[in-house]
Amino acid sequence: MRRQTFIRGLIAGAAVMSLSGVAQAQTPLEVPFYYPVAVGGPITKVIDGYAADFNKVHPQYKVTPIYAGTYQETIVKALTAHKAGKAPATSVLLSTDMFTLMDEGAIAPIDDFVKTDADKAWLKSFYPAFMANSQTGGKTWGVPFQRSTVVMYYNKEAFKEAGLDPNKAPANWKELKEAAQKLTRKDASGKVTQYGIQIPSTGFAYWMLQTLTTPNDVLLANDTGTKVTLNNPKVVEALNYWVGLVKDGVHPAGVVEWGTTPKDFMEKKAAIIVTATGNLTNIKTNAKFDLGVGQIAGNIRKGSPTGGGNFYIFKSAPKEQQQAAFEFAKWVTQPERAAQWSMDSGYVAVSPAAYETPVLKKYGQEFPQALVARDQLPVSVAEFSTHENQRVTKVLNDAIQAALNGTKTAAQAMDDAQKESERILRRYK
């Protein structure tokens, strides 16, 4: 009897030791994180570093970045995975993808994870302008991460050579057109060697149009994403201004590539470009001339659309992964990390508190160009976003390109885009 008791004790002790060993060797929870970048490079190293640092502090989790291509490719992959029951825990996708992700039933409201006073304070800490593309229907669907406004980059040396003040960006449409005329250079044969201004029209043509419609005091869509106003006379006027730059010969003809515009600027093929502040670090690092950065030129008012990407949490991911995704989004957007991310990437830090950190204060004093996009936030509007967003923006992009190519007038292009968009959005009214 004593021997049986002894054996039972040994077995029980071994079981406890075995369970303890399992607990110690327990593998951390995998947390797939889709990030929109097509190739490796400095940004992937930064994102990998964030994941590694988070995992060290939270050893129960293993956030794994998966580089999924462009924004457009990433949302396709994320939604395909969601429909297959293999959604990532989280992904950085365009803030304008919010309605699409909601319509697909793909994302969980961030509010579901906000429990403590600290969580509530964190959710209220972001710039209101960035929350315009993150909230609808009384709920928060995305968390701002790599957010931006559109700015004007200009070559100060080219300004000096043209007799323009290198420390003053054109403040309005009249000044912009006059500067572009003075900055356009031609060789002996009459071929343009340097355009005065270049605005890209592939990929994000609708966003670039907003850099003209916003100063013209008109919005392209309502805040519930159910109605567009593309053929408003002020929208047509704004598109005609862009077309006019082409007709005047101060802007490249036809469709201008989004991806090559910063390169054209750095190679002095364009003296002014209009593009996202997310290009700032790249241009600052590689431009071989004195760089100027200015707010978007005004007309009736000043202003720019916001842009960039939000963190979203996928509803079909396991609950533990969703919670881990929330903790990661909260961790990575803390002021010190938001400040460092802004310096590493060129994006606007997402909260006022980030600009109060010593490191970003010092950076802003040494490189004031980095503050231009932030200073534009009080007059910024939500980036164009609707239900069926990919379809509607394609309609608008195609219309803008038709006007720039000269195959349609601005008025006809916008009328056609309005009709087609209304047809797409009819079911949401």
Residue type present at position 120: K
Say yes or no: 245 and 106 in one domain. Answer: no
Same domain flag for 271 and 419: yes
Q: Where are the beta strands (DSSP E) in 68-206?
A: 90-94, 135-136, 139-140, 143-155, 185-186, 192-194
296 with 400, same domain: the answer is yes
* Whether residue 285 is found in the same domain as residue 403: yes
Tell me: do 176 and 291 sit in the same domain: yes
Q: What is the pTM of this model?
A: 0.89
pLDDT of 203: 85
Q: Is residue 297 part of a domain?
A: yes
Spatial CA neighbour of 207 closest among 389, 406, 24: 389
CB 197 within 8 Å of CB 175: no
Please state the domain count of the chain.
Answer: 2
**CATH code, 352:** 3.40.190.10
Mark whether 364 and 412 lie in a shared domain: no
In a domain, 207, yes or no: yes
Both 179 and 237 in a single domain? yes
Q: Tell me, what's the pLDDT at 329? A: 98
Whether residues 268 and 191 share a domain: the answer is yes
Inside any domain, residue 8: no
CA angle 41, 44, 45 (to 5 degrees): 85
For residue 142 the two structure tokens come to 């995305």
| Residue 70 neighbours by CB distance under 10 Å | 13
Closest CA to 271 of 253, 292, 245, 244: 292
Structural domain contains residue 336: yes
The predicted structure's pLDDT at residue 217: 98
Taking the chain (429 residues) in runs of 10, the rounded mean pLDDT of each run is 46 45 68 85 90 98 96 95 96 97 97 98 98 96 97 98 98 98 97 98 95 98 96 98 98 95 97 94 94 98 97 97 98 97 94 98 96 96 96 97 98 98 95
* 21 located within any domain: no
Boundaries of domain holding 46: 29-148+307-379
pLDDT the model gives residue 41: 67
Asked if 36 and 93 touch (Cβ cutoff 8 Å), the reply is yes
Instruction: Identify whether the C-beta of residue 77 lies closer than 8 Å to the C-beta of residue 58.
Output: no
What CA–CA distances, in Å, run from 139 to 153, 298, 323, 329?
36, 33, 18, 17
Give pLDDT, residue 42.
83
Q: 236 and 140: one domain?
A: no
**Same domain, yes or no: 156 and 301:** yes
Measured distance CA(186)–CA(329) in Å, rounded:
50
Q: Does some domain include residue 14?
A: no
Q: Please, are residues 110 and 141 in contact by the beta-carbon 8 Å criterion?
A: yes
pLDDT at residue 55, rounded to an integer: 98
Angle between helices 233-247 and 205-213 (to 10 degrees): 110
Instruction: Report if residue 295 sits inside a domain.
Output: yes
- 224 within a domain of the structure (yes/no): yes
DSSP 108: -
Same domain, 55 and 133: yes
SS3 285: helix
CA atoms of 218 and 212, how far apart (whole Å): 9
Q: What is the pLDDT of residue 15?
A: 45
Which pLDDT does position 61 carry in this prediction?
98
Amino acid found at 142: G
State whether 414 and 292 are in the same domain: yes
Exposure class string for 378-388: b at 16+ Cβ within 10 A, else e? ebbbbbbbbbb
Question: What does the alpha-carbon distance between residue 340 and residue 354 come to, in Å, rounded to a whole number?
Answer: 9
